Amino acid sequence: MLKIKESAMELAVASEGNPVSTTIVVMLFYLFSYIAYCNIKTLIWGDSATHWIDPFFTFAFIAYAAYCVYACACVNTVKKQSQNLSHSPMHTQ
């Protein structure tokens, strides 16, 4: 679980807190991993039929995209707090 949190935070920091770009990155990762998954299914079973694990695979990426949006909110909150601290009248240089 810690690796998932770290990867979501790194993605949020890399996108500078933009939730749209993080969602697009997760969607592209889902697309390419699903293509690889379908190719593996075709190699093993000979067809790319729908299996019982497909909805769980999709739900996992939806949940990860939602968690990345939450991480963007955390990054934006920290950025806003640091900006408020640097502009406070009590701040001395």
89 vs 21, higher pLDDT: 21
Question: Where exactly are the structural domains of the chain?
Answer: 2-78
Alpha-carbon torsion 21, 26, 28, 29, what sign?
A: positive
Q: Closest Cα to residue 28, out of 65, 77, 71, 80?
A: 65
Residue 93 to residue 85: CA distance in whole angstroms = 12
pLDDT tens digits, one per residue of 10-69:
999 999 999 999 999 999 999 999 899 888 888 888 876 677 888 898 999 999 999 999
CB of 75 closer than 8 Å to CB of 12: yes
Q: How confident is the model at residue 82 (pLDDT cuts 50, 70, 90)?
A: confident
pLDDT at site 19? 94
